Amino acid sequence: MSDRLDGSGEDQRPTGEANPVADVLRDTLAYARDRSYRGWDYGDGMSSRLLRAAPVDSKWLNIAVQELAKRPPVNIRPLLRVEQRRNYKGTALFAMANCNAAHLDLGGGDVDYAEEGHELAAWLVRNRSLGFSGFCGGHNHPIQHLDGRGHPNDPDVVSTSYAVKALLAAGELDPQFPAIAKTASAFVECDLDYRSVEGGAAIDYHLNHPDSSITINANALGARLLTDLHARFGRESDRRKAARILSYVADRQTDEGGWYYRDPPSDSHLSMDNHHNAFVLESFLRFREVVDTQRFDGTIDRALTFYRDVLFEESGAPNFDESNAYPRDVHAAANGVLVFTYAGDIEFAARIVDWTLDHLYCGDGRFYFRNHRFYTKRHVLMRWCVAWMAFALSEFLARLDDRADRTDRRLSGEE
AA identity, residue 123:
W
pLDDT at 407: 54
Q: What is the pLDDT of residue 377?
A: 95
Look at residue 366 and tell me whether its pLDDT is greater than 80: yes
Q: Please say whether the beta carbons of 322 and 332 come within 8 A.
A: no
Residue 147 has a pLDDT of 77
Cα(238)–Cα(225) distance, rounded to whole angstroms?
Answer: 9
Tell me whether residue 378 is exposed, middle or buried, using C-beta atoms within 10 angstroms of its C-beta: 0 to 12, 13 to 18, 19 or more: middle
pLDDT of amino acid 17: 47
* Domains of the chain by residue range: 21-408
| pLDDT tens digits for range 287-336 | 999 998 899 999 999 999 999 999 999 999 999 999 999 999 999 999 99
Q: Is 260 exposed, middle or buried (0-12, 13-18, 19+ CB in 10 A)?
A: buried
Residue 361 CB coordination number (10 Å): 19
Please give the mean pLDDT across all residues of the chain: 92
In the predicted structure, residue 2 carries a pLDDT above the cut 60? no
CB atoms within 10 A of CB 123: 17
pLDDT value at residue 19: 83
Q: Each residue of 40-86: pLDDT tens digit?
A: 999 999 999 999 999 989 999 999 999 999 999 999 999 999 999 99
Question: Which amino acid, one-letter code, is at 83?
Answer: E
Reported as a pLDDT band with limits 50, 70 and 90, residue 18 is low
Give the pLDDT of residue 179: 98
Over residues 94-118, mean pLDDT: 93
Confidence of residue 1 (pLDDT cuts 50, 70, 90): very low
- What count of other Cβ atoms lies within 10 Å of the Cβ of residue 180? 18
- pLDDT of residue 12 exceeding 70: no
Distance CA 243, CA 245 (A): 6
Q: Give the CA-trace dihedral at 387, 388, 394, 395, to 10 degrees.
A: 150
CA distance 220 to 277: 10
pLDDT at 14 over 50: no
At 258-288, the pLDDT tens digits run: 999 999 999 999 999 999 999 999 999 999 9
Residue with the bigger pLDDT between 210 and 190: it is: 190
Name the architecture of domain 21-408. Answer: Alpha/alpha barrel (1.50)
The answer to whether residues 4 and 354 touch, using CB atoms and an 8 Å cutoff, is yes
